[in-house]
């Protein structure tokens, strides 16, 4: 059979509400042209994020009902710990309320002024948690990953030469840790190869630098390894994941992605002293080490989700459904990051809207237009998210101007995706008429969440 179907059926549904184009115009204005400020009830198809938005399975909901809410030593913690250990093979498993809480704890201990944390590409909260300690985050992505149109199998790879050069220039004593993001969310959801992970690990260990994984989308990454990397075609995704984690000294994880949970995360590691330091902080900010900011029911849902996500029927459907949208758009001429990522389709706003300069935020302008056209909510991953200012307050733009359409796991059907493609193609066909935006309010850190914008005026 050539058709890949959704490997589930629907037991419980939620209604969607359609707004008129006139209503959407008003809503967008009131939200200051920022999708984060649009009430969810006013969105038709919500592709803002794949984080915490998964549909949980019947088995997960059953787990929720049987969650053990004991303060210490809850049975659900032991289920959670065993499920995580089976995949990551590390002895110390520390639950947190989400990924960034794991980052905050890790970097509070590892970071600090004068230090550098290296990555293929740091996600925005990871970078913020590093910079909050006074340390600097450094992205050393391979050149292939910076060309949205280029087709290559592992565009999330770290550049080994850049890594070696950076260590030689800066001195390993100032680099406590290197963290590779799988898949590379901010770089288009592109996977990292096992070969690259091994090489990064070797370089790090040669210099006494800790090697971690930001493992939010580990299963999607491992599915790409199975399909694209020589030597892995006959290995299960679980085995591939176990190998991948075997090279790491530790990992941070947001269970809101590849564990199908609506909340949750964890830190895992080999080093007992570091684990003890992390737990000491955990008690202050998250909770006792056997629940770390989560209810027993959440731990249970994560434990079950981690088993479901390595199912290859699911992963085949998952990766294919993203590819399906990317193919439709590419066939219509829409510039899309190639090849399709694991959790999202990324539109190349710079290529689509060359008449809008980067300081008028072409990605954000495209996000606004997608909402106006069809009530579709995406997010800019470009200069609004990553731009900085120089001493004269001129914008230092991001590497790319992308719009991410992240697909929640097991939530939308093929006809929803067909509708999304239609909306994007309609916007593409009138792209010459789209105008830029300017910022009227912004915060110091993570400004994209709260910024106010308006249509640019000469």
Which residues make up the interface to ligand F0G (CB under 6 A)?
A: 49, 51, 98-100, 123, 125-126, 181, 185, 214, 216, 254, 256, 265
| Identity of the residue, 226 or 254, whose beta carbon is nearer to ligand F0G in the bound complex | 254
Cα separation of 177 and 251, whole Å?
11
- The residue whose Cβ lies closest to ligand F0G is 99
Looking at residue 431, the DSSP 8-state letter turns out to be: G
- Please state the closest distance from residue 102 (CB atom) to ligand F0G, in A: 8
Q: Alpha-carbon torsion 243, 244, 247, 251, what sign?
A: negative
Task: Name the minimum Å distance from CB 252 to ligand F0G.
Answer: 7
Whether the Cβ atoms of residue 303 and residue 83 lie closer than 8 Å to each other: yes
Q: How many residues would you count in the chain?
A: 458
Closer residue to ligand F0G in complex, CB, 159/380:
380
Which is closer to ligand F0G, CB of 167 or CB of 215? Answer: 215
Identify the bridge partners of residue 119 per DSSP, sorted by sequence position.
139, 179
Q: Least distance to ligand F0G from the beta carbon of 298, Å?
A: 12
Cβ nearer to ligand F0G, comparing 342 with 387: 342
With respect to ligand F0G, which residue has the nearer C-beta, 302 or 368?
Answer: 302
Nearer to ligand F0G, 142 or 213 (CB): 213
Instruction: Find out whether the peptide bond into 187 is cis, omega within 30 degrees of 0.
Output: no
CB of 46 to ligand F0G, least distance (A): 12
Task: Supply the minimum distance, in Å, between the C-beta of residue 260 and ligand F0G.
Answer: 13
Residue 90, CA distances (Å) to 82, 149, 238, 270, 279 in order: 10, 38, 15, 6, 15
Q: How far apart are CA 305 and CA 257, in angstroms?
A: 10
Least CB distance to ligand F0G at residue 195 (A): 21
DSSP labels, 155-215: TT-B-HHHHHHHHHHH-GGG--EEEEESSBGGGTSB---HHHHHHHHHHHHHTT-EEEEE-
**Between the CA of residue 286 and those of 95, 243, 278, 290, what are the distances in Å?**
9, 30, 11, 11
Instruction: Quote the Cα angle for 151-219-322, to 5°.
Output: 45
In the complex, the smallest distance separating the C-beta of residue 181 from ligand F0G, rounded to whole angstroms, is: 5
Nearer to ligand F0G, 5 or 446 (CB): 446
Report the C-alpha gap between 40 and 250 in whole angstroms: 36
Nearer to ligand F0G, 50 or 401 (CB): 50
Q: What does the buried/exposed string (b/e) look like for 216-252 if buried means 16 or more CB atoms within 10 Å of the residue's CB?
A: bbbbbbbbbbbeebeebeebebbebbbbbbebbbbbb
- Complete DSSP assignment for 31-80: TTT-GGGS-GGG-SEE-S-SSS-PPPPHHHHHHHHT----SSS-HHHHHH
Smallest distance, ligand F0G to C-beta of residue 279, A: 19
Tokens 């520390």 — which residue? Answer: 94
Q: Which residue has the tokens 């293929």?
A: 120
| Nearest distance, CB of residue 404 and ligand F0G, angstroms | 8
Contacts of 284 (CB under 8 A, 6+ apart): none
Shortest Å, Cβ 126 to ligand F0G: 5
Nearer to ligand F0G, 181 or 360 (CB): 181
Q: Which is nearer to ligand F0G, 57 or 98 (CB)?
A: 98
Q: Label the pairing between strands 116-119 and 177-181.
A: parallel
């Amino acid at each position: 059979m050539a058709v890949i179907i959704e490997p589930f059926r629907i037991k419980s549904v939620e209604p969607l509400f359609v707004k008129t184009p006139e209503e959407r115009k008003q809503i967008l204005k009131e939200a200051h042209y920022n999708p984060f400020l649009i009430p969810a009830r006013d969105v038709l198809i919500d592709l803002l994020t794949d984080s915490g938005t998964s549909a949980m399975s019947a088995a997960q909901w059953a787990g929720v009902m049987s969650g053990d809410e004991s303060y210490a030593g809850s049975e659900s913690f032991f289920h959670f710990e065993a499920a995580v250990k089976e995949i990551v093979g590390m002895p110390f498993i520390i639950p947190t309320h989400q990924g960034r809480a794991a980052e905050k704890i890790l970097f509070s201990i590892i970071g600090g002024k004068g230090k550098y944390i290296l990555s293929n590409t740091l996600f925005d909260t990871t970078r913020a948690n590093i910079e909050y300690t006074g340390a600097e985050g450094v992205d050393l992505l391979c050149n292939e990953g910076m060309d949205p149109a280029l087709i290559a199998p592992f565009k999330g790879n770290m550049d080994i030469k850049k890594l070696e050069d950076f260590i030689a220039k800066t001195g390993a004593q100032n680099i406590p840790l290197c963290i590779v993001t799988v898949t590379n969310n901010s770089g288009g959801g592109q996977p990292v190869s096992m070969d690259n992970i091994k090489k990064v690990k070797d370089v790090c260990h040669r210099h006494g630098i800790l090697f971690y994984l930001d493992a939010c989308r580990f299963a999607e990454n491992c599915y790409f390894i199975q399909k694209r990397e020589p030597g892995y075609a006959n290995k299960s995704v679980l085995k591939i994941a176990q190998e991948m984690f075997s090279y790491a000294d530790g990992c941070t994880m947001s269970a809101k992605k590849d564990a199908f949970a609506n909340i949750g995360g964890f830190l895992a590691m080999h080093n007992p002293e570091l684990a003890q330091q992390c737990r000491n902080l955990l008690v202050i900010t998250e909770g006792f080490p056997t629940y770390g900011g989560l209810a027993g029911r959440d731990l249970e849902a994560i434990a079950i989700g981690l088993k479901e996500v390595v199912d290859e029927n699911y992963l085949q459907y998952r990766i294919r459904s993203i590819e399906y949208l990317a193919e439709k758009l590419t066939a219509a001429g829409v510039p899309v990051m190639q090849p399709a990522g694991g959790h999202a389709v990324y539109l190349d706003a710079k290529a689509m809207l060359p008449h809008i300069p980067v300081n008028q935020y072409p990605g954000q302008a495209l996000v606004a237009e997608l909402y106006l056209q069809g009530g579709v909510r995406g997010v800019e991953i470009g200069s609004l998210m990553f731009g900085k200012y120089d001493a004269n307050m001129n914008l230092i733009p991001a590497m790319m101007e992308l719009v991410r359409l992240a697909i929640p796991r097991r939530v939308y059907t093929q006809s929803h995706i067909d509708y999304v493609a239609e909306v994007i193609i309609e916007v593409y066909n009138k792209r010459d008429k789209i105008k830029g935006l300017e910022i009227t309010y912004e915060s110091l850190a993570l400004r994209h969440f709260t910024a106010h914008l308006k249509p640019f005026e000469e």
